[in-house]
Amino acid sequence: MSIAASTVKELRERTGAGMMECKGALVEAGGDIEAALEILRTRGQAKADKKASRVAAEGRIELALSADGRRGVVMEVNCETDFVARDASFLAFAAEAAALALGRAPAGVEALMALPRAGGGSLEDLRKELVAKIGENITVRRFELLEAAGQLGSYLHGTRIGVLVDVVGGDEELRRDIAMHVAASRPQCVTPEEIPAETLERERRILTEQAGSEGKPAEIVAKMVEGRLRKYLGEVTLVGQPFVKDPDTSVGKLLQARKATVRRIARAEVGEGIEKKVANFAEEVRAQLEAHA
């Protein structure tokens, strides 16, 4: 049957699919654009399922904050290549996902993806359409929602590291400085009291074995272990770390001087903990040719 070029154009604009895909779907649907849209979405589902096993270790960190600065979301959205990480459709998807997480406070990624969108369908439907359009696996990997006891400070390092900090007291400059410090120094938690007891016990055991192997008397070993444990706590806790803008003072002393307290921190970095397969360019091209053979 004959399909008007204007109908094909409209379907392309609504879906982002290729011209021949749109025309084929319209022919199959007898010219019904809504039925053709459903056909393309179904095919997009198949494409999305096929690509779901592919490693998505690139992407961006997205931040979203409420107008009053008391609620915020830091989110990691992944794709397979840094090229797609700059694509306008991918950026729009990431921004919408973060805004939905901020506004609806879902319990986790699965609940987030099931949320309905203002334009119809769910966020997961949009993700699958984007996978079909772009041709890469795209995922919302994780997000953290902070409800501030004080005010939130935020910092985005390019698109790859994002930080939120809940600071009681101080001013906007201090909040931003602390967020920048967290981005640079990666503290595991705010204070030593937040470190799990089993983690401390494991570290103490390792340090004791290391010090014991040096042949020192038991009382000397005990002092060495306590000293090294204090050093470890200074390295992994926010308050114990040297402040990046003034290494002669600790973050804890800075906060004390400014009569401020950090209640929570949230830091995310693109690809953190993802094992990405490295292949040379020739192998990548060959693999793509074989996949499309």
Would you list the domain boundaries of the chain?
A: 5-51, 54-147
**Whether 145 contacts 71, CB under 8 Å:** yes
Q: What is the pLDDT of residue 45?
A: 44
Q: Is 257 exposed, middle or buried (0-12, 13-18, 19+ CB in 10 A)?
A: exposed
In the predicted model, is pLDDT for residue 98 greater than 80?
yes
In the predicted model, is pLDDT for residue 44 greater than 90?
no
Residue 248 backbone dihedrals phi, psi, to 5 degrees = -75, -10
**Whether 79 contacts 135, CB under 8 Å:** no
CATH 1.10.8.10, domain 5-51, yes or no: yes
Q: What is the pLDDT of residue 289?
A: 52
pLDDT digits (tens, 9 = 90+) for 141-200: 999 999 999 999 999 999 999 999 999 999 999 999 999 999 999 999 999 999 989 988
Place of tokens 């369908």: 121
Mean pLDDT of 34-61: 67
Q: What mean pLDDT is reported for the chain? A: 87
Residue 65 CA to residue 53 CA, distance in Å, equals 32
Instruction: Indicate the pLDDT class of residue 6, thresholds 50, 70 and 90.
Output: confident
CATH class belonging to 54-147: alpha beta
Instruction: Indicate the pLDDT class of residue 279, thresholds 50, 70 and 90.
Output: very low
In the predicted model, is pLDDT for residue 284 greater than 60?
no
Q: What is the pLDDT of residue 224?
A: 87
Q: What is the pLDDT of residue 215?
A: 79
pLDDT digits (tens, 9 = 90+) for 110-149: 999 999 998 889 999 999 999 988 888 899 999 999 999 9
* Identity at 48, one-letter amino acid code: A
Mean pLDDT of 87-101: 97
Q: What is the pLDDT of residue 191?
A: 96
In the predicted model, is pLDDT for residue 250 greater than 50?
yes
In the predicted model, is pLDDT for residue 48 greater than 60?
no
Q: What is the pLDDT of residue 285?
A: 55
* Identity at 9, one-letter amino acid code: K
Pick from 113-122, 127-136, 206-215, 227-236: least confident: 206-215
* Identity at 164, one-letter amino acid code: L
State the SS3 of the chain.
CCCCHHHHHHHHHHHCCCHHHHHHHHHHCCCCHHHHHHHHHHHHHHHHHHHCCCCCCEEEEEEEECCCCCEEEEEEEEECCCCHHHCHHHHHHHHHHHHHHHHHCCCCHHHHHCCECCCCCEHHHHHHHHHHHHCCCCEEEEEEEEECCCEEEEEEECCCEEEEEEEECCCHHHHHHHHHHHHHHCCCECCHHHCCHHHHHHHHHHHHHHHHCCCCCHHHHHHHHHHHHHHHHHHHECCCCEECCEEEEEHHHHHHHCCCEEEEEEEEECCCCCCCCCCCHHHHHHHHHHHCC
Mean pLDDT of 94-108: 97
Whether 5-51 shares its CATH topology with 54-147 is answered no
Instruction: Indicate the pLDDT class of residue 290, thresholds 50, 70 and 90.
Output: low
Cα-based distances in Å from 282 to 275, 276, 279, 288, 289: 21, 17, 8, 10, 11
Q: Which two tokens stand for residue 95?
A: 């921004």
Q: What is the pLDDT of residue 51?
A: 47
